[in-house]
Amino acid sequence: MALARIARANLRRSGGAFGSYAHEKDTFNVGGYTSRCNIPSHANFESDGKFSYAPRIKEQNYMNFSMRGISGTPHHQFPSASTQTVIEESEYEFENDRQRYAGLEATKPGEKPRVVVLGTGWAACRFLKGIDTKIYDVVCISPRNHMVFTPLLASTCVGTLEFRTVTEPVSRIQDALARDPNSYFFLASCTGIDTGKHEIYCEAVNNGGLPQEPYQFKVAYDKLVIATGSEPLTFGIKGVKENAFFLREVNHAQEIRKRLLLNLMLSENPGISEEEKKCLLHCVVIGGGPTGVEFSGELSDFIMRDVHERYTHVKDYIHVTLIEANEILSSFDVSLRQYATKHLTKSGVRLMRGVVKEVHPKKIILSDGTEVPYGLLVWSTGVGASQFVKTLDLPKSQGGRIGVDDWLRVPSVEDVFALGDCAGFLEHTGRPVLPALAQVAERQGKFLVELFNEIGNQNGGKAYSAKGMPFGEPFVYRHLGSMASVGGYKALVDLRQSKDSKGLSLAGFVSWMIWRSAYLTRVLSWRNRFYVAVNWATTLVFGRDNSRIG
């Protein structure tokens, strides 16, 4: 072992080649010291037959990684000192690079093709659920290990449902990720894609427990499915990201719940003035779409049924204001919009029209100069392309989404597909960009997984092997309708296929029963359906829990 280290160190100093090592010039400049050394640019070290490590990556590759958003390991100088010093530094560098640049190499002949899925949203999880693991090995990469059932997320903010009822671990959706030896789930974020090499570059999510900060690796793919979702739109308004809460993830709902209960308890402290109580207990919701309206309805229920009973000292100070630039629920039928407006107003929700100009820690300023103080601010004004999608060198559709054709393929690159909120039809297809809805993403996931299974059965799963293969009928989306709860055992059901078409529209208690029944059946697992049903029954009988944990 020692001899091997000395030989490797001498090779680095002398520029010689040994065995299968290839070498080329690299320049190191540390603290004004410059030395030119010949460095092995490639070597494979197999640990289990699947992972390959590169002990040294040439300077040009570091530049490429930097362009993809991956920082390189700094070069180490090798001063003219004792042989032992050279050996120690060489060994450290070797171990450092070996851990940093681990990865899954390209599949070999005779192995199953590898499908890499980025994301664990509606589109990605519907794809993962249906993929035939007898044909493909599956690798899923996402910064979260679960899917969020977003239609019920607002209910968790006030304690109607527990947080675990709206999450489904990805390993339950596709058990091959936990069972099959060549299928994996990696808790990481994709930082770049090399479509020419069929590789993606990732950075692991960690809290300081890994040997490298940040820990980076690469994964080779035969087919790549990008379903990374979207990000909340802030329109560049100053102070939104710093002071507002979004409602997209479970941790967002947890933070909203903690802030809401904290404000309620703080407002009961002695010495708090009436003005301070009004500000502290003023809940402002920006955006009158389904998420904003449903959250406002849940808040009004919480206030009417729980706050008035358990926070009697401050019950008259808590209020909800919903601010929308145009009309609430603009995609719904006119009669349903009017019903929602009347019901929310009757439930104590104040509706305002306005455009936010600035957001400060305790107040927002509208474009007409109106100042609105708040204790809790929830931002729900729609979604747009994520920063990751913007950085990709791929065709873009309207709104900055990844451009796709009629079969959800990304043109001009091989074996790359995109779906869900991050994808949109290109202009030349003549098709409109579909709305960022759960049912759109789920339909696209179902379509694409059927396409993949068919391709795999025709031996088209490997990289470049599906080129020229007929893909059959293109994707067609048919809208099934929209639903929204407005609180007080009332909901809206709009079954029109489009905004201008005619169809059945319902509002009231019957619609609320339809809303709950539909979502209960759409929850992914029987376990969570049981949890949701029990939570609803518990809330109905005993009220909502107001414990503030964390």
Tokens of 536: 């609803």
Tokens of 409: 């393929």
In a 3-state reduction of DSSP, which class is residue 129?
helix
- Residue 72 pLDDT: 36
Class of domain 243-380+479-540 (CATH, top level) = alpha beta
* Residue 348 contacts residue 300 (beta carbons within 8 Å): yes
Sign of CA dihedral 450, 409, 148, 292: negative
Q: Residue 147 and residue 204: Cα distance in Å, rounded?
A: 19
- Residue 101 pLDDT: 60
- Residue 68 pLDDT: 33
Q: Which of 126, 144, 438, 169 is CA-nearest to residue 291? A: 438
Tokens of 21: 């090592």
* Residue 493 contacts residue 511 (beta carbons within 8 Å): yes
- Fold equal for 101-230+383-456 and 243-380+479-540: yes
Alpha helix (H) residue ranges in 458-525: 509-522
Q: Which of 200, 246, 242 is CA-nearest to residue 221? A: 200
Residue 312 class from Cβ within 10 Å (0-12 exposed, 13-18 middle, 19+ buried)? exposed
Query: CA separation (Å) from 439 to 53, 130, 144, 392, 420?
Result: 41, 16, 21, 26, 9
Q: Quick one: fold of 101-230+383-456?
A: FAD/NAD(P)-binding domain (3.50.50)
pLDDT, averaged per 10 consecutive residues of the chain (550 residues), comes to 45 40 36 36 41 38 36 38 47 47 88 97 97 97 96 95 95 95 96 95 84 87 97 95 96 96 94 94 96 96 92 92 94 94 96 96 95 97 94 93 96 95 94 93 97 95 90 92 94 86 89 95 93 95 84
- Residue 53 pLDDT: 39
- Residue 30 pLDDT: 36
Phi, psi angles (nearest 5°) of residue 492: -120, 140
Domain assignments of the chain as residue spans, ordered by start: 101-230+383-456, 243-380+479-540
- Residue 547 pLDDT: 81
* Residue 297 contacts residue 488 (beta carbons within 8 Å): yes
Tokens of 527: 């376990």
Q: Which of 380, 400, 481 is CA-nearest to residue 440? A: 481
Q: Which of 396, 370, 375, 374 is CA-nearest to residue 385? A: 396
Q: Residue 229 and residue 401: Cα distance in Å, rounded?
A: 10
